[in-house]
Structures are given as C-alpha cells and as structure tokens.
Structure 1
Amino acid sequence: MVIVKGRRAAPSGAGREAALPDPVESRVLREATARRLLELDVAGGLSSTHVQLPASSAGLAERTVWRWLKRARSSGQLVATPRCRFAVDDRLRRA
C-alpha cells in the first residue's frame, strides 16, 4: 500500500499505484459523505460501521472520516477549508 499526501492508494498490478481521485470529485464525495453521516448522527443512528464503509471505499483512514464528522458537527462545514497557497512573485525572485 502506498501513502500519498495522506491518502492510501490501493495497490494495482505490476507494482503500479492506482490513480488518486480528481480533487473536485474528492470534494463532492467528502461533502456527500459528511452530510449523510451528520444526518445519521442527528437521528441517533450513527455507528462505527457507517464511518468505516466510506473510509475504506475512498482509501482513507477511518480517523479522517471521523474528523470530517467532527468538523461538520461543530461548525456545520461539510467541505475542507481552502488553504492559502504560497506563490513566488517578482519581489521574492529578486531577493
């Protein structure tokens, strides 16, 4: 098994890695998963099995999905907060 940026890529034949999902697709799946788990949680029907299934399907650690759910419970936010990206501009290039 190969870990790439916190995601486990399922092994494929001949020692090659399986392709990681498209980032847009990942956000959509994360939102749908968090929304459904939050609904189950509010209804009182959430179990570890409900968390394990999407985690294993997406090749993620179960703990990652629990973190999604924790964030959704506390802030209502279902998708990850976009990170600020570092960019090299002309001023830095001259330094």
Structure 2
Amino acid sequence: MPVPRWFRSRGHGCGLRTRKKAYPVLAALSALGPARAQLRAVMVADDRLRDEDRARSDDEDLAQVGDLVAEAGGYQQAAREARRLVQGSLAALDNGRFHT
C-alpha cells in the first residue's frame, strides 16, 4: 500500500513531526523486514537530536518515514484494523448489542 494521499497533503504528517506514534507507525515497527529496521534507525537517530534540530525536519524527512511505514505495511495494517472495528461496530448495531 503506498503512502496515503492524506499523509502527503499539507498539514498532515504532523503526528510524525511531533513524534507521536500513531497506529500505522506502531504496526510498521512491529513488522518484520528491512523497512522496519530502517524506520527504527531513523526514529532512534531523530530521538537523539536536540529539540531545535528536530524542529528542522522537513517534508522530505517526513516523506521518507511515510515511505518506510508504507513499505513495512503499517498503513495496510491500520486500514485492516479500522475495517475490522467498523464491521464489528456495524454488526453490533444490527444485532442490537449496544448500550445507550
């Protein structure tokens, strides 16, 4: 799965910019393979930067992280989990298994 279009649009990727570990990033870090290792290396190196240096992260750096998350399957896993949760919620509503 390629990097989602919403990630590339202006203003998005802010979770990565602020070092939040969103589900796609956590899924990518849990995956096996070279993209996981590269992503971890990038994030560890970034954690060692001073705050003012980290603030200089540009869109290319964020794009690289986004590409690594995609390559490791993070977005795909997040999409599968979202679908699973939506389907479970809809089934619960259909069966009347919800609390008001």
TM over 0.5: no
Mark the structure with the bigger radius of gyration: 1
Structure with the bigger RCO (C-alpha within 8 Å, sep 6+) is 2
TM-score when normalising by structure 2:
0.28
TM-score when normalising by structure 1:
0.28
